[in-house]
Structure 1
Amino acid sequence: MRILHIIASLSSGGAEKLLTDLVVKMKKNKVECEVLVLTKHNNFFGEILHENNIPVYYSESPKIYSVQNILFIKKIIASNHFDIVHTHLYSAQLFSVIANMLNYNKSILVTTEHSTNNNRRNKKILRFLDLCMYRKYKKIISITPEVQNNLKKYLKLPSNNFEMIFNGIDLDKYYYAKAWQKEDIIEGSEGEKWIIMVAGMRPAKDQETLIRASNYLPPNYRILFVGSGERKQQVEDYAKKYSSNKITFLGARNDIAELLKTSDLFVLSSHWEGFGLVLVEAAAAGLPVVASDIVGMGKVATAVGGYLFKPKDEQELAKVIEQALEEGPRINAEKLEKFSIENTVKGYLNVYDNLL
């Protein structure tokens, strides 16, 4: 079986990480996987694919939304025999459909829907475009029941077009990660409580609520933000303006498991989130997990023993942080197992087998 995964970039996001973990694990299961990327900019996970000898096709276009990328996809799928072409995120979803039409619809298309919502769904003309696009996919995989239910209501396509498969992680990587010494990362941090948030600097993530919450926390609490993105400078400026507590920006890192093990509590304060894969990573690392009570992610957080707070409410977030630190993690190991990368791969391979 030969699978081509197509995604906009390999930046440090949840969809990008899932794709990376999937293809590496599938290769170990003797499934031939390749990856096509619409831009090499911010190529965070590219090195991991290279280290695991996963072939990657990079577009030469500096822009994701470029007509050149449609022709690039068309060229790659026309000159190779892929059993399945599997897309992730909107630009790849749309451009792959157009490229496949230019190739007389020769490829079997599968896509994964990673979010419960997006701005397109509020515009009627874009709904028509989405409907035309999604109809070209033989199977639409959703990462939570809430993502699937929202998409079904939006598209009104037959139920057999859809499949729900939970995202998964390499649980052992987080179970057995070794903690760093806090002093080795931040000088003078001995005795501090570390509250960590790992997320891209994008509008959906709402780092601002955690920044405001820091004003209601004791002075020995430090907030760590791990991640990069287009809003990084904006978020850093916000922290300088609205917080009097210790806040540190560590940027994009490749030692997430170790940083989680070093920290005392994890927070994900997103406005919207299809899954929140990093919640499972934090729980597997043994941390108390705090998340905004939103569609999709709220149930994932509950499933891994997390604590919930009302979105955008910094005072409630601060109270829940202190409660979670006092009570400790509420992790259910059996429930964590359903979020293993092995289960995710098994679900995807089952979809592929049924289409071939």
Structure 2
Amino acid sequence: MRIVQIIDSFEMGGAQSLQVTFANEVLCRGHDLTVISLTESRDTAVEKSLRHGNTSLVFLPSDRLLDRKRIRRLACVLKDCRADVVQTHLTYSNILGSLAGKMAGVPVVATLHNEMYDPGWTNRARYLIETMVVQAAARKIVAVGYQVGNSQKKRFPAKKITVIPNAVNIPNPLSHDECMALKRELLGDPEQPVLITIGRLARQKGLIDLLDSFAALRREQPGVRLVIIGDGSFRPQLEEHIHALQLEQSVFLLGERSDARLLLPAGDIYVSASHWEGLPVAVLEAMAAGLPVVATRVGDLPYIVVDGSGRLVEPREPLKLARALGETLADPEKVKRMGQAAREYVVRNHHPRVWVDHLLDTYYQARNETPPQAELEVKRQ
């Protein structure tokens, strides 16, 4: 099958990480894959990974969302690469990819990654455009988690939403000595507890709440440290709040890191204070690395932080988050058990192979086709 994926950009994010996971799986099955970015090439870690795997990359930047020339160029690309199916990710791609797919006569599978949109007039306008275009032009809609799917049903009343939970690659576990060495290399003293979080520095992620909860936690456990990996427009406000709380010596802003996933074992607990989410890939990656999760009860987190793998609190409640972190850190043996439970859950439920099986099934349905025998053989293995 000739598959085209369209995404807003190759900057750091969960949807972008999924492109690499998807490419690794489908290419080894013999499918052709082209990934189109709606922004210019910036030689990001995602781009490098996709190129290394021999994925065809196309870049179609523009200063305007509804640029007719870009939509026509996108339709031409779909025709030129003889796409059998297109899957789109994130708002701009859902809009432009659905329109271009309709023009090119290629079935489109639109993907919903969040349970809500970022407030603001311009974001609401894009949300409404996305709703109308996907409703009219997409053949199938996929939600990356159950809560995401449930929250979007009223938005797309005439479409069935297929839920296909995100997947992550399962790393080999590190030994205790290897984790200590990584923590020493990253932060110096390996004996003090470390909280870690990965993601865009954006208002959605509740980072001010996270800092407030961390400041409260340090009053009880002054040795604890917080590592934040990622970059974004919210960084200046974050740095200002770190200074106001006098946390410069205990909060580490590492910026965007291509090795972010490899740094996870340096943490003792993965923490998230998000105000809303979908099914966050970063949380799945942390669980796969053997970290327990202490996070806010948003998006699909209640579906994955289960079986003793972590704790959830209500969003926008920094003191409750601090209390949950403190109680978890107080029992190191329990932290280990929770981390093991987290890894076991992800191995059972979020393996890339099963995820891609479901996506390919959806592609064949979008084309009104039955999967070929070779694909069925892969699923049976």
Please give the alpha-carbon distance, in whole angstroms, between the structure 1 residues aligned to 2:192 and 2:167: 31
Which residue number corresponds to residue 156 of structure 1?
Answer: 157
Task: Please show how residues 78-97 of structure 1 align to structure 2 within 5 Å.
Answer: 78-97=79-98
Please give the alpha-carbon distance, in whole angstroms, between the structure 2 residues aligned to 1:129 and 1:90: 6
The question of whether the paired residues in 1 share the 8 Å contact of 2:140 and 2:161 is answered with: yes
Please give the alpha-carbon distance, in whole angstroms, between the structure 2 residues aligned to 1:335 and 1:190: 27
Which residue number corresponds to residue 237 of structure 1?
Answer: 240
Asked whether 1:109 is paired with 2:108, we answer yes
Using the TM superposition, name which of 146-155 and 332-341 deviates more.
Answer: 332-341
Please give the alpha-carbon distance, in whole angstroms, between the structure 2 residues aligned to 1:176 and 1:108: 43
The question of whether the paired residues in 1 share the 8 Å contact of 2:9 and 2:39 is answered with: yes
What TM-score results when the alignment is normalised by the length of structure 1? 0.90
The question of whether the paired residues in 2 share the 8 Å contact of 1:174 and 1:284 is answered with: no
Asked whether 1:350 is paired with 2:361, we answer yes
SS in 2 for 1:140: strand
1:300-331 deviation per Cα after TM superposition (whole angstroms, max 9, x unaligned) = 22367221112121111111112222231421
Please give the alpha-carbon distance, in whole angstroms, between the structure 2 residues aligned to 1:319 and 1:205: 19
RMSD of aligned C-alpha atoms? 2.4
Q: In structure 2, which of residues 348, 352, 364 is the aligned counterpart of residue 341 of structure 1?
A: 352
Structure 2, unpaired ranges of 5+: 370-381
Change in Cα spacing, 1:295 to 1:249, as seen in structure 2 (3 Å) is same
1:24-79 deviation per Cα after TM superposition (whole angstroms, max 9, x unaligned) = 21111212111000113653410000111111001244x47361532331221132
1:81, distance to aligned residue in structure 2 (A): 0.4
Change in Cα spacing, 1:299 to 1:121, as seen in structure 2 (3 Å) is farther
Letter of the aligned partner of 1:228 in structure 2? D
Structure 1, unpaired ranges of 5+: none
Task: Please show how residues 191-210 of structure 1 align to structure 2 within 5 Å.
Answer: 191-210=191-210
Please give the alpha-carbon distance, in whole angstroms, between the structure 2 residues aligned to 1:262 and 1:39: 33
Which residue number corresponds to residue 279 of structure 2?
Answer: 275
Please give the alpha-carbon distance, in whole angstroms, between the structure 1 residues aligned to 2:14 and 2:172: 16
Please give the alpha-carbon distance, in whole angstroms, between the structure 2 residues aligned to 1:77 and 1:309: 45
Which residue number corresponds to residue 249 of structure 1?
Answer: 253
Letter of the aligned partner of 2:244 in structure 1? K
The question of whether the paired residues in 2 share the 8 Å contact of 1:113 and 1:140 is answered with: yes
Please give the alpha-carbon distance, in whole angstroms, between the structure 2 residues aligned to 1:311 and 1:145: 19
Asked whether 1:224 is paired with 2:227, we answer yes
Q: Percent identity?
A: 22
What TM-score results when the alignment is normalised by the length of structure 2? 0.84
Change in Cα spacing, 1:167 to 1:125, as seen in structure 2 (3 Å) is closer
Task: Please show how residues 1-356 of structure 1 align to structure 2 within 5 Å.
Answer: 1-40=1-40, 43-61=44-62, 63=63, 65=65, 67=67, 68-103=69-104, 106-119=105-118, 127=128, 130-158=131-159, 161-171=160-170, 173=171, 175-176=173-174, 179=179, 180-186=181-187, 188-216=188-216, 217=218, 218-244=221-247, 246-302=250-306, 305-325=309-329, 326=331, 327-328=334-335, 329-330=337-338, 331=341, 334-336=344-346, 337-354=348-365, 355=367, 356=369
Q: How many residues align?
A: 349
Letter of the aligned partner of 1:260 in structure 2? L
Using the TM superposition, name which of 282-291 and 298-307 deviates more.
Answer: 298-307
SS in 1 for 2:305: helix
1:89, distance to aligned residue in structure 2 (A): 0.5
SS in 2 for 1:223: strand
Letter of the aligned partner of 1:344 in structure 2? W
Change in Cα spacing, 1:174 to 1:117, as seen in structure 2 (3 Å) is farther
